[in-house]
Structure 1
Amino acid sequence: MTDSIGVAVIDGHTLTRYGLANLVGSAADIRIVGECGSAAEAAGLVAATEPDVVVLDVALPDGDGMRVARELRDRYPHLGIVLLTSDTEDDVLFRALETGVSAFVCKTAPNAEVLAAIRHAAVAAESFTATGLALALGRRATLHAGLVLSPREREVLFLLADGLSVPAIARSMYVSPSTAKTYVARLYEKLGACNRAQAIMAGLRLGLIEQHLSAPAA
């Protein structure tokens, strides 16, 4: 049928692609137009098949599925993009939301949920949906409400996110290196982090540095 939803599948697991093909085959309004198993093939597949929706694995054998999703979104603003994942941690969900995909679905989700995500992506490509999103947002709000950073600690978090070293942070804040180390240590303790990367991830998860990272440079 000409008005059915054309779906391209990008997943490194042959069995997953086979399962999706069988699932889609059970729906009269959806059809598979192409498939591939790697990030390297993704752009060519989408250009050749012109799907309405791409179903994409987060963890591809040769690359980051979310990076592929971001590139596809930049190139095709109205393309429906459904991300499949085995990792349902809040961090991954929020990263998917920020990537601009249409839907985020766990690989263990019921068949009806996968089909619903494809249909949603076909008609509302720029609107994000995910089971558990409201709960994840609630958890983030609760954590954020219970965490109070001092102005100095917030400044340190921003500087860490900008890639500054401890000596550079000390110079930027006009304090001694030992004082800067103390600020960093206190920040790590509050965020439950052991290093810069963990602190930045915690800051992103809690919504503490999203505006800072997205703000244009002065």
Structure 2
Amino acid sequence: MTAPVPTTVRVVLVDDQPLVRAALRMVITDAPDLEVVAEAGTGAEAVGLAGSVHPDVVVMDIRMPGMDGIEATRLITSGSGNAHVIVLTTFDDDDYVYGALRAGASGFLVKDMALDDILAAIRVVAAGDGLIAPGVTRRLIKEFADRPASSPPRREVAGITDREREVLTLVGSGLSNSEIAAELCISVATAKTYVTRLLSKLDARDRVQLVIIAYESGLVATAR
């Protein structure tokens, strides 16, 4: 049974710069449906808080002393809680983003994003959807997929039907459910059903993880 979307989204802010946390806290607490329940300055603190305050979303900086945001993300998303992680980054952090997504992050925020986009990203991830489009996530994932030096070994995708493989390819290209439906001449509800099946069969947390799987298996490079 799928857990309901929380009425008030509980957020943990993780950044080693207090001013960054203060700015984000001001933005988030102004939204009636979002609540900052804790803050951390290190990755280790973030992991501890995720286990004690049970947030819905963790906004995670990548570059921190000691345990970095990638390792903290991996530990949080592999734990028993239901917290989703959004990576907090700058454009010069590109080399870290792919690793963070593979560690289980559901998307990321750029530190100079518009305030409304930051709030929207938190809501999207809290609802269980990966932050793929519109914007920088789709572009960065494609950029990493196009870099031979940073591409991971080819991943085999087994146990899915030909149609599910086709849907996975389109998800990997950043298409929404409605765009997949139009591409395949099926209903939006049917497209959503296929995506749900893929999430289950491939043990993926959200659509961002399906995108990673599509690239790692070579489906996107061979299709679009």
TM range (shorter): 0.5 to 0.7
State the partner residue of 1:52.
Answer: 56
Displacement after TM superposition at 1:84 (Å): 0.1
State the partner residue of 2:7.
Answer: 3
Using structure 1 for the length normalisation, give the TM-score.
0.61
Displacement after TM superposition at 1:89 (Å): 5.2
CA contact (8 A) 2:98 2:144 kept: no
1:129 aligned to 122, 128, 132, which one?
132
State the partner residue of 2:149.
Answer: 203
| Residue segments in structure 2 that go unaligned for 5+ positions in a row | 1-5, 157-215, 218-224
State the partner residue of 2:205.
Answer: none
Displacement after TM superposition at 1:135 (Å): 2.9
Instruction: Spell out structure 1 runs of 4+ moving beyond 6 A.
Output: none
1:211 partner amino acid:
R
1:100 aligned to 94, 99, 104, which one?
104
> Highest Rg: 1 or 2?
1
Q: Give the fraction of aligned pairs with identical amino acids, expressed as a percent.
A: 28
Q: Relative to 1, partners in 2 of residues 1:76 and 1:88: Cα closer, same or farther, differing over 3 Å?
A: farther
1:111 aligned to 106, 115, 121, which one?
115
Displacement after TM superposition at 1:137 (Å): 4.7
CA contact (8 A) 1:88 1:106 kept: no
State the partner residue of 1:179.
Answer: none
CA contact (8 A) 1:53 1:79 kept: yes
Q: Matched residue pairs, number?
A: 152
Q: Distance in 2 between matches of 1:137 and 1:48?
A: 32
User: How large is the RMSD of aligned CA atoms in angstroms?
Assistant: 2.7
Q: Relative to 1, partners in 2 of residues 1:70 and 1:16: Cα closer, same or farther, differing over 3 Å?
A: same
CA contact (8 A) 1:5 1:30 kept: yes
Q: Relative to 1, partners in 2 of residues 1:40 and 1:99: Cα closer, same or farther, differing over 3 Å?
A: closer
Q: Which moved more, 1:132-141 or 1:80-89?
A: 132-141
The reply on whether 1:14 has 2:18 as its aligned counterpart is yes
The structure, 1 or 2, with the larger RCO (C-alpha pairs under 8 Å, 6+ apart) is 2
SS at match of 2:32: coil
Q: Relative to 1, partners in 2 of residues 1:12 and 1:89: Cα closer, same or farther, differing over 3 Å?
A: closer
CA contact (8 A) 2:28 2:36 kept: yes
Q: Relative to 1, partners in 2 of residues 1:210 and 1:110: Cα closer, same or farther, differing over 3 Å?
A: farther
CA contact (8 A) 2:10 2:56 kept: yes
Q: Deviations over 1:53-92 (max 9, x none)?
A: 1111111122210110011000046311111012455433
Q: Distance in 1 between matches of 2:81 and 2:53?
A: 16
Q: Relative to 1, partners in 2 of residues 1:115 and 1:29: Cα closer, same or farther, differing over 3 Å?
A: same
Map 1:24-35 → 2, pairs under 5 A: 24-35=28-39
CA contact (8 A) 2:59 2:85 kept: yes
Q: Relative to 1, partners in 2 of residues 1:123 and 1:76: Cα closer, same or farther, differing over 3 Å?
A: farther
Q: Relative to 1, partners in 2 of residues 1:16 and 1:209: Cα closer, same or farther, differing over 3 Å?
A: same
Q: Distance in 1 between matches of 2:140 and 2:25?
A: 30
CA contact (8 A) 1:9 1:34 kept: yes
Q: Relative to 1, partners in 2 of residues 1:128 and 1:210: Cα closer, same or farther, differing over 3 Å?
A: farther
1:73 aligned to 59, 72, 77, which one?
77
Q: Distance in 2 between matches of 1:54 and 1:21?
A: 12
Displacement after TM superposition at 1:37 (Å): 0.8
State the partner residue of 2:68.
Answer: 64
Q: Distance in 2 between matches of 1:140 and 1:13?
A: 28
